Amino acid sequence: MNLVEGIFVKPFQDMFGAPDFLIQVLWEGLVAGVLYALIALGFVLIYKSSRIFNFAQGIMVVFAALTLVGLYEKGVPALLALPLTLVVMFLLAVAIERVVLRPLVNQPDIILFMATIGITLFLIGFGEIIFGGENKVMITEQLFIPTGSFTFEPFGGFVSIEQKDLTAVVGAVLLVAGLILFLNKSKMGRAIRALGDDHQAALSVGISLSTIWVLVWFIAGVIALATGIVWGARAGVSFALEVIAFKALPVLMLGGLESVPGAIIGGLAIGILEKLFEIYWGQPLLGGNTETWFAFVFALIVLLFRPQGLFGEKIIERV
Amino acid sequence: MHGTEPAIDPATPILSVNNIEVIYDHVILVLKGVSLTVPQGGITALLGANGAGKTTTLKAISNLLHAERGEVTKGSIVFEGNEVQALSPNDLVRRGCIQVMEGRHCFGHLTVEDNLMTGAFTRRDGKAAIRADLDLVYEYFPRLKVRRSSLAGYTSGGEQQMTAIGRALMSRPKMILLDEPSMGLAPQLVEEIFEIVKKLNEGQGVSFLLAEQNTNVALRFAKYGYILESGRIVLDGEASALRENEDVKEFYLGVAGEGRKSFKDVKHYKRRKRWLA
């Protein structure tokens, strides 16, 4: 009886009993969700345009953050280090296209997947040699990211919102809005979507594979940098950050590998749900620490009912 | 009649294919020495049954074979004086040679208009010129204008074929390699599509190489025809001459002269090659 009550009654009593705390929890979940969505977006873009499941997306987050901080530590002013890091990510995209993708074009998917594992290992080693393997602190203040916090008191309670989280959310929203605009309105964006739809036809109308691939990997690099800055500001910059990329897997299962809106909504949903579950069910009933596995179990359950994910690309079939 | 060389001035073909051999996956020999030419401003038909090698020939010309692990191992293909094998599909489209693939291959999740705009990927001559060409395409295919904002995947087969041809037009081609435009379309639509091909040929001066199984229609609109059988050209000639040819009538047009023939009378063409010039 206690258990049933603990599952079905008490959490909701708690939620409505302390709405200010609920808002705080939702906000924390939203911030985490935004990051998951960003990482998933990097996966989706690359998968859509080249059918490659990019295992290296997580390490690209670390590598981008590491380059940024590393350059700063080597004496480059922070505001110069940022564009320089973008240049590095662009060069990385060019190198990956030249050295890895181009020679492997038309190989089976699994070989390309293995190649991205190779890229992962390379980036770990390369990053360590250049910038060292010890943990670093994100240069939040030097990049003029505000660090204070807003507090306000709804329903006679108390909610605190950290300014850097707010910056992260606003920044992510702008980044995603820009990306969607780019995909839908620009010539290159159209070509990326075309390539995702029909590879052969895209080739036949003269869409250049190498240009698009460099572009897509560069965009993934930019997304990685944004994620790296935000996550680095919360948890520090270390290779352990790579683990958060695995959080993108349930997001992808949920959102579908090919859907941009799916990645965004899936990311937000997982971020918020796992926080809610942890606070209201996990801690009182399961002893806490449910955030490490909740997303995977949740995705598994969704998969049982919708194997294509919640937003998997609709297959258009004429009858 | 079988042995006649092209009567059209061979001095300025826009495309010449010289004795090419194509091998898939390093082992499967599909084209065994195919030669053909398309004159400037001509409509040339490439005819033959399923699996004869029509699509492979077109893909060899547009350099799309690599995507299917095919390779041109012998011979040469020259488009406007350039060796095709040295160019990427992207270069070729830029130079004015574009393929409209068999089965339309529209981008299903893009709108009709976005589909058309992808055809302008290689162009560098500015938004205004591209816009003007889009209007031109809508003039040739008024139906596409009506459907411009629907997803291409939800349009009819005829509309998809028009989208595919219109998309190719957006690249300002000098030559279109058109693969089975009649596939899966009602006879009336086939007629409509071919009329537009003719109009494009006359109005825009676009040359066409047309792979077709529908020999009847193809020979009415083409000026010259080649017949492909298991990877070899077995017959070629003026379209009007081919239409009157007894063998073509029997094998491809389905008009048998005098009742059923015994199997032993059925003729198989022997190997015929046209060597380099």
Q: Nearest CA of chain A to the CA of B148: how many Å?
A: 15
* CB contact B119 to A (< 8 Å): yes
- Give the residue-averaged pLDDT of A58-85: 91
pLDDT digits (tens, 9 = 90+) for A163-186: 888 988 999 999 999 999 999 999
Nearest CA in chain A to B66: A106
Q: How many CB pairs below 8 A link A and B? A: 87
User: How far, rounded to the nearest angstrom, does the alpha carbon of residue B240 sit from its chain's CA centroid?
Assistant: 19
pLDDT band at B3 (very low <50, low <70, confident <90, very high): very low
- Spacing of C-alpha A168 from chain mean position: 12
ipTM of the complex: 0.84
Sheet holding B224-229, edge to edge: B97-100, B175-179, B207-212, B43-47, B224-229, B232-238
Report chain A's terminal Cα–Cα distance, integer Å. 53
DSSP code at position B238: E
Inter-chain touch B90–A190, beta carbons under 8 Å = no
Rounded to an integer, what distance in angstroms lies between the CA atom of residue B6 and that of residue B236? 8
CATH number of the domain to which B38 belongs: 3.40.50.300
Answer whether residue B243 is part of any domain.
yes
| First-to-last C-alpha distance (Å) of chain B | 19
Angle between helices A291-305 and A242-255 (to 10 degrees): 20
Q: What is the dihedral of CA A132, A136, A142, A147, to 10 degrees?
A: 170
B4, part of any domain: no
Average pLDDT, chain B: 87
What would you measure as the largest C-alpha separation in chain B, in angstroms? 63
Over residues B81-99, the pLDDT tens digits come to 899 999 999 999 999 999 9
Could you tell me if B161 lies within 8 Å of chain A, comparing CB atoms? no
For A289: left if phi > 0, alpha if psi spans -120 to 50, otherwise beta; the answer is left
What are the pLDDT digits (tens) for B140-175?
A: 999 999 999 999 999 999 999 999 999 999 999 999
**pLDDT at res. B193:** 92
Q: Do the beta carbons of residue A270 and residue A254 sit within 8 Å?
A: yes
> Torsions phi, psi of A89, nearest 5?
-65, -35
A205, A207, A210, A214: best to mutate for the B interface, most B CBs within 10 A: A205
A185 to chain B, any CB pair closer than 8 A? The answer is: no
B177 — phi, psi (to 5°)?
-95, 110
User: Residue B6: pLDDT above 80?
Assistant: no
Identify the pLDDT of residue B270: 52
Contact check, Cβ <8 Å, B121/A205: yes
Contacts of residue A187 in chain B, CB cutoff 8 Å? 117, 120-121
**Rounded distance between C-alpha atoms, residue B131 and residue B98, angstroms:** 20
Winning range, highest mean pLDDT, from A104-118, A275-289, B86-100, B237-251: B86-100
Residues 206-225 of A with CB under 8 A from B: 206-208
Chain B residue numbers with beta carbons less than 8 Å from the beta carbon of A190 are 110, 114, 117-118
Q: What is the mean pLDDT of residues A305-318?
A: 68
Is A193 part of the contact surface with chain B (CB cutoff 8 Å)?
yes
**What is the reported pLDDT for A287?**
82
Residue A135, both tokens: 């943990």
Q: Which of A201, A208, A318 sits opposite B105 (nearest CB)?
A: A201
Q: Quick one: pLDDT at residue A212?
A: 93
**Model pTM?**
0.85
Instruction: Tell the burial category of A10 from Cβ atoms under 10 Å away from its Cβ (0-12, 13-18, 19+).
Output: middle
**Tens digit of each residue's pLDDT (9 = 90 or more) over B218-269:** 999 999 999 998 899 988 999 999 988 887 887 777 766 555 666 666 555 5
- Which pLDDT does position B255 carry in this prediction? 67
A184-188, A260-264, B266-270: the lowest-pLDDT one? B266-270
Cβ neighbourhood burial of B255 (10 Å; 0-12, 13-18, 19+)? exposed
Q: How far is A250 from chain B (nearest CA, A)?
A: 25
Among candidates A138, A10, A17, A19, which has minimal Cα distance to A68?
Answer: A138
Buried b (16+ CB within 10 A) or exposed e, A98-124: eebbeeeeeeeeeebeebbeebbebbb
- What would the pLDDT profile of A132-170 be if each residue is shown by its tens digit? 878 888 887 777 787 788 888 777 778 888 888 898 899
Determine the structural domain holding residue B71 and report its residue range. Answer: 13-265
Whether residues A318 and B154 touch (CB distance < 8 A) is answered with yes
pLDDT band at B127 (very low <50, low <70, confident <90, very high): very high
Contact A206 B67 (CB under 8 A): no
Average pLDDT over residues B37-50: 93
Q: Is A107 in CB contact (< 8 Å) with chain B?
A: no
Q: Do B110 and A194 touch (CB under 8 A)?
A: yes
B255 CB contacts (<8 Å, ≥6 apart)? B249
Q: Which of A4-13, A59-68, A97-106, A178-187 has the lowest mean pLDDT?
A: A4-13
Are residues A204 and B108, on separate chains, in Cβ contact within 8 Å? no
Mean pLDDT of A212-231: 92
Task: Report pLDDT for B1.
Answer: 39
Closest C-alpha to B141, from B113, B122, B99: B113
How far off is chain B from A184, nearest CA to CA, in Å? 9
The verdict on residue B2 lying in a domain is no
DSSP alpha helix (H) spans, B19-84: 54-62
The CA dihedral of A46, A52, A53, A55, to the nearest 10 degrees, is -90
- Tell me how far apart the alpha carbons of residues A190 and B110 are, in angstroms, rounded to a whole number: 8
Domain ranges for chain A? 2-305
Interface membership of B131 toward A (CB under 8 Å): no
Q: Which of B66, B118, B122 sits opposite A106 (nearest CB)?
A: B66
Q: What CATH architecture applies to the domain A2-305?
A: Orthogonal Bundle (1.10)
Contact (CB<8Å) A190/B171:
no
Rounded to the nearest angstrom, the minimum Cα separation between B152 and chain A is 10
Q: Among partner residues B93, B153, B157, which is closest to A206 by beta-carbon distance? A: B93
For chain B, the domain total comes to 1
